[in-house]
Amino acid sequence: MKFTFITIFPELINDFCKEGLLAKAVRTKKIQIDTINPRDFTHDVHQTVDDAPYGGGEAGMIMKIEPLAAAIRKAVGKNKSNPSTSSGRWGNGALVVLLSPSKQIFNQQLAVKWTKLKHLVLVCGRYEGVDARIEKYVDVKISLGEFVVMGGEVAGLTILEAVGRLLPGVIGHEVSLAEESYGERFKLEYPHYTRPEIFERLKVPKVLLSGNHQKIKEWRKKHSK
Protein backbone atom coordinates (compact mmCIF):
# COMPACT_ATOMS: atom_id res chain seq x y z
CA MET A 1 0.00 0.00 0.00
CA LYS A 2 1.19 3.48 -0.82
CA PHE A 3 1.02 6.46 1.54
CA THR A 4 1.72 9.95 0.19
CA PHE A 5 2.12 12.92 2.54
CA ILE A 6 1.56 16.39 1.14
CA THR A 7 3.56 18.49 3.56
CA ILE A 8 5.89 21.46 3.79
CA PHE A 9 8.01 19.41 6.22
CA PRO A 10 8.88 16.23 4.28
CA GLU A 11 11.90 15.46 6.46
CA LEU A 12 9.64 15.22 9.50
CA ILE A 13 7.85 12.33 7.77
CA ASN A 14 10.98 10.73 6.37
CA ASP A 15 12.83 10.77 9.68
CA PHE A 16 9.90 9.24 11.55
CA CYS A 17 9.69 6.38 9.07
CA LYS A 18 13.36 5.45 9.49
CA GLU A 19 12.74 3.65 12.79
CA GLY A 20 10.92 0.58 14.08
CA LEU A 21 8.40 -1.54 12.23
CA LEU A 22 7.64 1.21 9.72
CA ALA A 23 11.25 1.19 8.55
CA LYS A 24 11.13 -2.59 8.20
CA ALA A 25 7.83 -2.42 6.31
CA VAL A 26 9.33 0.08 3.87
CA ARG A 27 12.50 -1.98 3.49
CA THR A 28 10.52 -5.16 2.75
CA LYS A 29 8.19 -3.24 0.42
CA LYS A 30 5.06 -3.91 2.45
CA ILE A 31 4.50 -0.14 2.53
CA GLN A 32 5.59 2.66 0.21
CA ILE A 33 5.88 6.14 1.71
CA ASP A 34 6.27 9.24 -0.44
CA THR A 35 6.26 12.97 0.32
CA ILE A 36 5.30 15.88 -1.90
CA ASN A 37 6.16 19.44 -0.88
CA PRO A 38 3.64 22.11 -1.97
CA ARG A 39 6.52 24.59 -2.14
CA ASP A 40 7.68 22.77 -5.28
CA PHE A 41 4.56 24.06 -7.04
CA THR A 42 5.02 27.75 -6.24
CA HIS A 43 6.30 30.37 -8.68
CA ASP A 44 7.96 33.00 -6.50
CA VAL A 45 11.50 33.18 -5.15
CA HIS A 46 10.33 32.61 -1.57
CA GLN A 47 8.20 29.55 -2.47
CA THR A 48 5.24 31.05 -0.64
CA VAL A 49 2.51 28.62 0.40
CA ASP A 50 0.52 30.93 2.72
CA ASP A 51 -1.21 34.30 2.55
CA ALA A 52 -3.40 36.62 4.61
CA PRO A 53 -7.07 35.64 4.84
CA TYR A 54 -9.77 37.51 2.93
CA GLY A 55 -11.94 39.53 5.28
CA GLY A 56 -9.12 40.24 7.70
CA GLY A 57 -9.49 40.11 11.46
CA GLU A 58 -7.58 36.85 11.93
CA ALA A 59 -4.21 36.44 13.58
CA GLY A 60 -2.81 33.68 11.38
CA MET A 61 -2.04 33.00 7.74
CA ILE A 62 -3.93 30.61 5.45
CA MET A 63 -2.40 27.93 3.23
CA LYS A 64 -2.90 28.81 -0.44
CA ILE A 65 -4.99 26.56 -2.64
CA GLU A 66 -2.84 26.64 -5.80
CA PRO A 67 0.21 24.72 -4.50
CA LEU A 68 -1.93 22.29 -2.51
CA ALA A 69 -4.17 21.47 -5.47
CA ALA A 70 -1.12 21.00 -7.70
CA ALA A 71 0.46 18.70 -5.12
CA ILE A 72 -2.71 16.61 -4.94
CA ARG A 73 -2.77 16.30 -8.73
CA LYS A 74 0.84 15.14 -8.62
CA ALA A 75 0.06 12.59 -5.91
CA VAL A 76 -2.85 10.97 -7.75
CA GLY A 77 -1.27 11.25 -11.19
CA LYS A 78 -3.94 13.48 -12.67
CA ASN A 79 -3.33 16.56 -14.81
CA LYS A 80 -6.88 17.82 -15.36
CA SER A 81 -7.66 21.22 -13.92
CA ASN A 82 -10.42 20.08 -11.59
CA PRO A 83 -11.69 16.85 -10.07
CA SER A 84 -15.38 15.99 -10.12
CA THR A 85 -17.12 18.82 -8.30
CA SER A 86 -19.81 16.43 -7.08
CA SER A 87 -17.57 14.09 -5.12
CA GLY A 88 -14.00 15.38 -5.39
CA ARG A 89 -12.84 11.81 -6.11
CA TRP A 90 -9.81 11.45 -8.33
CA GLY A 91 -9.97 7.71 -8.97
CA ASN A 92 -6.76 5.72 -9.55
CA GLY A 93 -7.52 3.77 -6.36
CA ALA A 94 -6.50 6.79 -4.27
CA LEU A 95 -8.29 8.33 -1.31
CA VAL A 96 -7.33 11.95 -0.60
CA VAL A 97 -7.67 12.90 3.08
CA LEU A 98 -7.45 16.42 4.47
CA LEU A 99 -6.23 16.40 8.07
CA SER A 100 -8.28 19.16 9.60
CA PRO A 101 -10.81 19.89 12.35
CA SER A 102 -13.85 17.85 11.34
CA LYS A 103 -16.96 16.17 12.70
CA GLN A 104 -15.60 12.88 11.32
CA ILE A 105 -13.12 11.42 13.80
CA PHE A 106 -10.57 8.79 12.81
CA ASN A 107 -11.09 5.44 14.54
CA GLN A 108 -10.15 1.78 14.32
CA GLN A 109 -13.03 0.97 12.01
CA LEU A 110 -11.74 3.50 9.47
CA ALA A 111 -8.22 2.09 9.85
CA VAL A 112 -9.51 -1.37 8.95
CA LYS A 113 -11.55 -0.01 6.03
CA TRP A 114 -8.60 1.90 4.61
CA THR A 115 -6.38 -1.20 4.48
CA LYS A 116 -8.36 -2.08 1.33
CA LEU A 117 -7.06 1.02 -0.45
CA LYS A 118 -4.16 1.06 -2.90
CA HIS A 119 -3.13 4.63 -2.15
CA LEU A 120 -3.81 6.98 0.77
CA VAL A 121 -2.95 10.65 0.22
CA LEU A 122 -2.67 12.64 3.45
CA VAL A 123 -2.86 16.42 3.07
CA CYS A 124 -1.16 18.06 6.06
CA GLY A 125 -2.36 21.56 6.81
CA ARG A 126 -0.35 24.22 8.64
CA TYR A 127 -0.71 27.82 9.86
CA GLU A 128 -4.19 29.08 10.82
CA GLY A 129 -5.90 26.82 8.31
CA VAL A 130 -6.29 25.89 4.65
CA ASP A 131 -8.20 27.71 1.91
CA ALA A 132 -11.66 26.11 2.16
CA ARG A 133 -11.84 25.54 -1.59
CA ILE A 134 -9.40 22.65 -1.14
CA GLU A 135 -12.37 20.59 0.03
CA LYS A 136 -13.34 20.22 -3.65
CA TYR A 137 -10.05 18.40 -4.18
CA VAL A 138 -10.23 15.92 -1.30
CA ASP A 139 -12.46 12.94 -0.55
CA VAL A 140 -12.80 13.37 3.19
CA LYS A 141 -11.82 15.63 6.09
CA ILE A 142 -10.58 13.75 9.15
CA SER A 143 -9.69 14.82 12.69
CA LEU A 144 -8.03 12.83 15.45
CA GLY A 145 -10.21 14.46 18.11
CA GLU A 146 -11.34 17.70 19.68
CA PHE A 147 -7.94 19.29 20.17
CA VAL A 148 -5.55 21.40 18.12
CA VAL A 149 -1.97 20.60 17.07
CA MET A 150 0.53 22.67 15.09
CA GLY A 151 0.05 20.82 11.81
CA GLY A 152 -1.35 17.76 10.09
CA GLU A 153 1.89 15.79 10.00
CA VAL A 154 1.50 14.20 13.44
CA ALA A 155 -2.09 13.27 12.63
CA GLY A 156 -1.01 11.80 9.30
CA LEU A 157 1.73 9.73 10.92
CA THR A 158 -0.81 8.43 13.43
CA ILE A 159 -3.04 7.28 10.60
CA LEU A 160 -0.04 5.74 8.83
CA GLU A 161 0.75 3.65 11.91
CA ALA A 162 -2.88 2.70 12.58
CA VAL A 163 -3.49 1.54 9.00
CA GLY A 164 0.00 0.28 8.25
CA ARG A 165 0.18 -2.09 11.22
CA LEU A 166 -2.95 -3.88 9.95
CA LEU A 167 -1.42 -4.68 6.55
CA PRO A 168 -0.24 -8.27 6.00
CA GLY A 169 3.35 -8.85 7.08
CA VAL A 170 3.87 -5.53 8.90
CA ILE A 171 3.31 -6.84 12.44
CA GLY A 172 5.45 -9.83 13.37
CA HIS A 173 2.76 -11.47 15.54
CA GLU A 174 -0.38 -10.89 13.49
CA VAL A 175 -2.43 -13.02 15.89
CA SER A 176 -2.10 -10.15 18.38
CA LEU A 177 -4.33 -8.05 16.12
CA ALA A 178 -7.32 -10.31 16.80
CA GLU A 179 -7.96 -9.27 20.42
CA GLU A 180 -6.66 -5.75 20.76
CA SER A 181 -8.20 -2.50 21.91
CA TYR A 182 -10.99 -1.10 19.71
CA GLY A 183 -11.32 -4.37 17.81
CA GLU A 184 -14.62 -6.08 17.03
CA ARG A 185 -14.74 -8.28 20.15
CA PHE A 186 -13.74 -5.81 22.85
CA LYS A 187 -13.78 -2.06 23.15
CA LEU A 188 -10.66 -1.92 25.32
CA GLU A 189 -8.23 -4.79 25.69
CA TYR A 190 -7.61 -6.54 29.01
CA PRO A 191 -4.62 -5.47 31.21
CA HIS A 192 -1.21 -6.99 30.48
CA TYR A 193 1.56 -8.02 32.90
CA THR A 194 5.09 -9.38 32.59
CA ARG A 195 8.10 -10.06 34.85
CA PRO A 196 8.81 -9.40 37.67
CA GLU A 197 5.89 -11.07 39.44
CA ILE A 198 6.08 -8.50 42.27
CA PHE A 199 7.23 -4.91 41.83
CA GLU A 200 7.18 -2.57 44.83
CA ARG A 201 4.42 -4.67 46.43
CA LEU A 202 2.36 -4.60 43.23
CA LYS A 203 1.52 -8.19 42.28
CA VAL A 204 0.49 -9.88 39.07
CA PRO A 205 -3.07 -11.31 39.38
CA LYS A 206 -2.86 -14.92 40.59
CA VAL A 207 -5.06 -16.28 37.83
CA LEU A 208 -2.45 -15.32 35.22
CA LEU A 209 0.11 -17.45 37.07
CA SER A 210 -2.22 -20.45 37.44
CA GLY A 211 -1.65 -22.08 34.06
CA ASN A 212 -5.42 -22.64 33.78
CA HIS A 213 -6.06 -21.36 30.26
CA GLN A 214 -9.85 -21.44 30.58
CA LYS A 215 -9.80 -19.30 33.74
CA ILE A 216 -7.26 -16.96 32.16
CA LYS A 217 -9.51 -16.58 29.12
CA GLU A 218 -12.51 -15.81 31.35
CA TRP A 219 -10.49 -13.28 33.38
CA ARG A 220 -9.35 -11.50 30.24
CA LYS A 221 -12.87 -11.33 28.86
CA LYS A 222 -14.18 -10.00 32.19
CA HIS A 223 -11.52 -7.28 32.31
CA SER A 224 -12.04 -6.13 28.71
CA LYS A 225 -14.22 -3.02 28.61
**pTM over the 0.75 mark:** yes
Domain check: are 84 and 124 in the same one?
yes
Question: What's the pLDDT score for residue 179?
Answer: 57
List of E strands, the chain: 2-6, 32-36, 50-51, 62-63, 94-99, 119-124, 129-130, 140-142, 198-199, 202-203
Mean pLDDT of 42-66: 90
Least confident of 88-102, 160-174, 193-207: 88-102
Mean pLDDT of 172-197: 70
Question: What's the pLDDT score for residue 225?
Answer: 77
Query: Does position 184 have pLDDT exceeding 80, yes or no?
Result: no
Which CATH number goes with the domain that contains 141? Answer: 3.40.1280.10
Q: Which domain holds residue 216?
A: 178-222
User: pLDDT-based confidence at 86, cuts 50/70/90?
Assistant: very low
Question: What's the pLDDT score for residue 89?
Answer: 63
Least confident of 14-18, 113-117, 126-130: 126-130
Which CATH number goes with the domain that contains 182? Answer: 1.10.1270.20
